[in-house]
Amino acid sequence: MAKVNVGFIGLGLMGQGMATNIVRKGWPLAVMAHRNRAPVEALLAKGAMEVKTPREMAERCDIIVLCVTGSPEVLSVVEGADGIAAAGKPLTIIDCSTSDPSVTLKLAEDLAEKGTTLLDAPLSRTPADAAAGTLDVMIGGADDDVRRVWPVLECFAGRIVHTGPTGTGHTMKLLNNFLAMGYAALYSEALMLGRKAGLTPEVFDSVIRGGRMDCPFYQTFFRWVLERDPNAHKFAIRNAFKDMSYLAAFANASGAANPIGAAVRNSFAQAVGAGRGEDYVPMLSDFIAKANGIK
């Protein structure tokens, strides 16, 4: 496709790397500052242009990528007083946030009446993958709409899966994060129980690593446990709690019993309630240990 004007809102841990890859690969890019100007300045130096509001971005762009925290933030930048929808211009929004699928579906319906297409395209992997352009993307939307934005996604994705109609991307993302955060809660509890029995994290790792229960998520988690690398997995406990709360809402709306999901959510809820929400997910292991009298 011709390189149309692209906007990007949400230059956080993931967004900065994604936006950098978009501009590096030749797409005209508009960006907007939030709390931290450093990512904006870095992108301006690479050829991006700055806008002041989502509305101004919509007036200038044909595609806007969102990489914000969740549904409330998406609604704010889209439907706010100076939001994307206020431009009154048909365009395509690619929502890479981890959002509530029910909110996504309602917003997509509302925007469609105004000629704007909303696609949900949440992400998997880490900020390092965002910088390398090797993220996993799961995208929901109509075939033609997905095909149209595919070249933009390819700027920052190593793997793209079309999950089905709008809303299925965000649903799949919640299931993906359920597995990941479930592992985090399991690792944390298993490590604590091992310590109770005198088994060190090093012994635990020597049994698991290279075996059937090993996986890339385990390896990044244990870079914190064994090496105390704070950058091993830069995903905040508060965001894990938010995602598991979205999953709980989805299960409730579906009339489904999800006792394991509730247990995983509560592991993160306890950490957030204890003031550990800004810690990264592997640090849940420290919280679970301390809660059980172990350093």
Domains delineated in the chain? 6-165 (3.40.50.720), 171-291 (1.10.1040.10)
Other C-beta atoms closer than 10 Å to the C-beta of 133 total 18
Rounded (10°) CA dihedral 213, 216, 218, 222: 140
Element at 150 (helix H, strand E): helix 143-153
- Residue 128 has phi, psi (to 5 degrees) of -65, -40
- Active centre residues (catalytic): 173
Find out whether 287 and 274 touch, Cβ atoms under 8 Å: yes
Element at 8 (helix H, strand E): strand 6-9
Could you read off the pLDDT of 58-97 as tens digits, one per residue? Answer: 999 999 999 999 999 999 999 998 999 999 999 999 999 9
Taking alpha carbons only, the member of 229, 260, 258, 262 closest to residue 245 is 262
- Residue 184 has phi, psi (to 5 degrees) of -60, -45
Give CA–CA dist 92/256, Å, rounded.
33
Q: So what's the pLDDT on residue 1?
A: 59
N-term to C-term CA, the chain: 56
Name the residue with tokens 């006792």. Answer: 259
Residues of the chain with pLDDT under 50: none
| pTM for this predicted structure | 0.90
What are the b/e assignments for 196-213, b being 16+ CB within 10 Å? eeeeebeebbeebeeeee
Q: So what's the pLDDT on residue 204?
A: 98
What sign results for the dihedral spanned by CA atoms 40, 41, 43, 47? positive
Q: So what's the pLDDT on residue 247?
A: 95
Find out whether 152 and 94 touch, Cβ atoms under 8 Å: yes
Beta bridge partners of 62: none
